[in-house]
Amino acid sequence: MTGVDASAPGGDRFEPQHVVVIGGGMAGLVAALDCARVGIRVTVLEASDHLGGALRAEEIGGLTVEVGAESFATRGGTVRALAESVGLGDRIVTPNPEGAWVAAGKGRMASLPKAGILGIPSSPLADDVRAVIGWGGALRAYLDRVMPVLTVGTEHDLGGLVTRRMGRAVRDNLVAPVTMGVYSSDPEALDVTFAAPGLNRALTKAGSLSGAVATMRAASRAGSNVEGIVGGMSVLVEAIVRELEHPWGVEIHRNTPVSALERDGDGWLVTVTDTPGPDSDGSGTGETDSAIRADHVIVAIPEAPALGLLSRLDPSLSDVTPIDPPRVDLVTLVLDDSRLDAHPRGTGMLVAPTAGLTAKAMTHATAKWSWLAENARALAPHRHVLRVSFGKAGENTVGELGDDELVALAVRDLSTMLGVELDPASIVAAKRTTWAGSLPGAVTGQRARSESVRERILAIDGLDVTGGWLAGTGLAAVVPDALASAGRVRHRVAQRVLGEMAPDAAAPSAD
């Protein structure tokens, strides 16, 4: 949809519309792909040498291991559809159904109850619930069934709702571990409407919180809530880039930050700084500034640089203060220990704030993904990959620790979580990765704020915006947002092309 095919009558009079995508994270790549697939000329500009944003793999201990997102939520089906569209349908897999455990207060460690939503149990007296919160906590939670029914209205404070209906034990030991693991946020920071879509409606119908959860689970689609890709999620990035470059011929420029964006007639001039590395004589950085002309621009970079760029076009945007994103420190360990072959804590562990641990979660990656276990066993019979994450919104939990100190802390917390005293000598390799994520869309007020900012940006003609800071965390939020952004741009491209064609269509015949 880039104009008229050159083989059509008069087609050589029309130049293809050019879309520049600023940012080569997942939002930018998905938007670029959606535009390129309809024939639009696309250029992607990425400031770093890495494409894919939070999807990244590195070699650790002889294994290619994901050090960013290692799965995707299945809700909406958009991520699966994307993977299938780039030829990865036969590589989509579900995790080991063993599931995760939870480290609760009073030293309790047990399987995370499966019949719940965000940790909220549908059956408070179930054995797996009592294993986590004990009889006292379970009986208090059961009072939800006999308390006055919830009336018509909208609940917002997830933590307040859970505590009021089911008690502190459920909030601290079941719900908080999930919200910290998924959103890096306390339950009180999350809006029920967005953290658990449909729960408010179910509350009105069921009259109790546990009843509402049971109703929602009964109506939900069977199957895993998350899926992965054999080889890791970074394989998805590689497949998208491969299609962008061949057959669509999309130009992808790494190490090319955008320094300015300004109007140029009915289009744009995008000023970039090319940083190819040292000059041929070894001096300097070889940086050069140049300008790229575009008909349309999609801004797909994090909030702070996006607002810095766009506030020059709309000075009122300078009043928007970027939100400090949650910092997450991830320690990935590759180690040899036969005691882990039995998966002592399933596929991982979420941590309650009352558990006395610094880590917020642990993933036993070789227990969760069979393909990774096979790769690990090919190197050594008892080799395992474990990921330990630290961090909470508004707190710099371990930022002051050096890499060695953080790895030592991870080993100590892992020993407690696994119930196995790990020997530091068993560690083959360790890697620390620090991520600055996006504030989850489920945080109270964030959805309204992001939509307000987006509306102001979209008022700038010929420009669109997408990314996790607007859509929320996770591929299941980012991918449809990027597709919506690309869809708006495709519509404008079509309108402009049809407008250029209209005079010819209305002109009298030369005959």
Domain count, the chain: 3
Whether residue 333 is found in the same domain as residue 424 = yes
Report if residue 103 sits inside a domain: no
Q: From the CB of residue 5, how many other CB atoms can be counted at a distance below 10 Å?
A: 11
Report if residue 176 sits inside a domain: yes
Q: Tokens 């520049």 — which residue?
A: 20
Whether residue 348 is found in the same domain as residue 318 = no
Whether residue 465 is found in the same domain as residue 484 = yes
Q: Which of 407, 436, 465 is the last residue of a domain?
A: 436
Whether residue 376 is found in the same domain as residue 411 = yes
Whether residue 428 is found in the same domain as residue 406 = yes
CA distance 348 to 368: 8
CA distance 163 to 176: 11
Whether residue 331 is found in the same domain as residue 402 = yes
CA distance 164 to 171: 9
pLDDT in tens, 197-238: 899 999 988 999 999 999 999 988 767 789 999 999 999 999
- CB contact at 8 A, 261 and 268: yes
Give the pLDDT band of residue 3 (cuts 50, 70, 90): very low
Report if residue 179 sits inside a domain: yes
Whether residue 336 is found in the same domain as residue 414 = yes
- CB contact at 8 A, 172 and 346: no
Calculated CA dihedral for residues 247, 253, 259, 261, nearest 10 degrees: -10
Q: Is the pLDDT of residue 273 over 80?
A: yes
Task: Supply the CATH number for residue 119's domain.
Answer: 1.10.3110.10
pLDDT in tens, 69-91: 999 999 999 999 999 999 999 99
- CB contact at 8 A, 178 and 118: yes
Whether residue 272 is found in the same domain as residue 341 = no
Whether residue 135 is found in the same domain as residue 190 = yes
Task: Supply the CATH number for residue 498's domain.
Answer: 3.50.50.60
| 355, two tokens | 């558990």
pLDDT at position 459: 95
What is the bridge-based pairing of β-strands 361-364 and 348-351? Answer: antiparallel
Task: Supply the CATH number for residue 378's domain.
Answer: 3.90.660.20
Report if residue 285 sits inside a domain: yes
Q: Which of 219, 249, 274 is the last residue of a domain?
A: 219
Nearest Cα neighbor of 128 from 112, 144, 105 is 112
- CB contact at 8 A, 469 and 450: yes
Report the length, in residues, of the chain: 511
Contacts of 46 (CB under 8 A, 6+ apart): 23, 24, 25, 28, 252, 253, 254, 255, 256
Report if residue 78 sits inside a domain: no
Helices (H), 196-341: 199-206, 209-219, 234-245, 303-310
Whether residue 134 is found in the same domain as residue 282 = no
CA distance 109 to 134: 11
Task: Report the SS3 class of residue 73.
Answer: strand
The DSSP annotation for 453-493 comes to HHHHHHTSTTEEE-SHHHH-SSHHHHHHHHHHHHHHHHHHH
Percent of the chain having pLDDT more than 70?
91
Q: From the CB of residue 144, how many other CB atoms can be counted at a distance below 10 Å?
A: 24
Calculated CA dihedral for residues 162, 166, 167, 172, nearest 10 degrees: -50
Q: From the CB of residue 396, how many other CB atoms can be counted at a distance below 10 Å?
A: 13
Give the pLDDT band of residue 11 (cuts 50, 70, 90): very low
Report if residue 4 sits inside a domain: no
CA distance 476 to 30: 12
Whether residue 244 is found in the same domain as residue 286 = yes
Residues 96-107: what's their mean pLDDT? 94
Residues 279-283: what's their mean pLDDT? 50
Q: Which of 155, 188, 219 is the last residue of a domain?
A: 219
CA distance 363 to 352: 15
pLDDT in tens, 130-167: 999 999 999 999 999 999 876 656 788 999 999 999 99
Report if residue 3 sits inside a domain: no
Return the axis-axis angle of helices 475-506 and 26-36, rounded to nearest 10°: 30
Whether residue 377 is found in the same domain as residue 351 = yes
Contacts of 337 (CB under 8 A, 6+ apart): 382, 384, 420, 422, 423, 426
Residues 309-324: what's their mean pLDDT? 93
Single pTM value for the model: 0.91
The DSSP annotation for 47-71 comes to SSS--STT--EEEETTEEEESS---
Report if residue 227 sits inside a domain: no
Domain that holds residue 373: 326-436
Tell me how far CA of residue 276 lies from CA of 104, 216, 251, in angstroms.
Answer: 50, 53, 16
The DSSP annotation for 90-155 comes to GGEEPPPTT--EEE-GGG-EEEPPSSEETTEESSTTSHHHHHHHHHHHHHHHHGGGTSPPP-SS--
